[in-house]
Amino acid sequence: MNTPSPLSHAEVEKIRREFPILQRKTASGAKLSFLDNAASTQRPTSVIDAMSECYLRYYANVHRGIHTLSEETTAAYEEARKTLANFINASSVQEVIFTAGATASINTVARTWGDQNLSEGDVILTTIAEHHANIVPWHQLAERTGCKVIFLPIEDDFTFSTDLVKEYLERFRPKLFAFTAASNVLGTKPPVARWISLARSVDAITLVDGSQAAPHETLDVQQLDADFVVFSGHKMCGPTGIGILYGKQQLLDSMPPFLGGGGMIQRVSVEGFETAELPDKFEAGTPPIAEAIGIAAAADYLTRIGLDRIAQHEHTLCQIADSGLRLIDDVEVIGPHPCDKGGIVSFSLNSVHAHDIAHQLDSLGIAVRAGHHCTMPLHRAMKKTSTTRASFYLYNTPEEAEQFVSAIEAVQNKFAKTGRRRRSR
């Protein structure tokens, strides 16, 4: 396997010029250093232009008109579906459903496959590191059906034991194993294909939350053999309000529609209705048209640069930040070694609340996330009320990673009662 060539300094600078928002200054007058990419990324001009062109030149509702604008918009919308199918290597465009986001995608599975297939005593297995979007829908499903949600614990080194995964799968025989491809707090990346194979051995259906993976690495759904994969547009340089639900065609065909209305029907009568074929069956109402065009433009943009090169670049930045933070007194890095995680560095600083840290960094133009990051069960398991998270992307630089470490050292010095300094190397 060939190692991808790293993004050069000149390439990163070129990339940065393609993101207009990165040229602005913050309210404090400082130059913006955007390190909140795990929450949502910024958009390049190619995505902005693709969506603007739709609104400026050919927008109309899709699938319902025989006039020129409708036909052009329908063609662009369905071409976007093809782009996303290629992006994840789906075997058919019918397996790619446009939703309002990853959360909507998971809820669709819970309300369709879940309601149809789970009952009292059945088990859903997930991990303690999941985003609330991959927890709450299963709790709701448990309330409706009487099934149980069981959580895999985390190891002391912030990773998951595959041996324990195997043990839980064999002991509880879950109907569904739903897990993240990368933790939005720890950065931990489990062996997704291995876990899916283990789940298959006990006849469990798998759902992979790829929200923190799709923007950074290739998600080949056929190679992974996942039953369902979900991800969102706004974390991969695309617009908000759109996500992808991938499902194996046989599964999607067997599932009832979640939302009813226009677009998802073949015919309607006073006696009832007949659903449309895939993918229309799960896309009731007017879909996110310009957003679909935008997420396709984002997928094209990331593909042109190379997801493997993006991941390598983020790894470099993560190493700088992670190693730097571990040298600062009273800083506890929350996550595994950089070799075992994506471009996320979460930490806590003794005696300083995460919100105070984020506020101090904002005064320097550095945007980070503070709080529980929609992972309250994980934070409780770690005995943390909150953490601070810096998350890197293709447009961030080594200088920004170093500036971030220096800023945390300054915050530590400001708040520390003893005035202790950074530990010597």
What residues act catalytically?
374
Q: How far is CA 209 from CA 110, 192, 212, 269, in A?
A: 13, 10, 8, 38
Q: Which residues pair with 208 in a beta bridge?
A: 179, 229
Q: Do residues 147 and 124 touch, judged by C-beta distance below 8 A?
A: yes
Q: Do residues 240 and 262 touch, judged by C-beta distance below 8 A?
A: no
- H, E, C per residue of the chain: CCCCCCCCHHHHHHHHHCCHHHHCECCCCCECEECECCCCCCCCHHHHHHHHHHHHHHCCCCCCCCCHHHHHHHHHHHHHHHHHHHHHCCCCHHHEEEECCHHHHHHHHHHHHHHHHCCCCCEEEEECCCCHHHCHHHHHHHHHHCCEEEEECCCCCCCCCHHHHHHHHHHHCCCEEEEECCCCCCCECCCHHHHHHHHHHCCCEEEEECCCCCCCCCCCHHHHCCCEEEEECCCCCCCCCCEEEEECHHHHHHCCCCCCCCCCEEEECCCCEEECCCCHHHCCCCCCHHHHHHHHHHHHHHHHHCHHHHHHHHHHHHHHHHHHHCCCCCEEEECCCHHHECCEEEEEECCECHHHHHHHHHCCCEECEEECCCCHHHHHHCCCCCEEEEECCCCCCHHHHHHHHHHHHHHHHHHCCCCCCCCCC
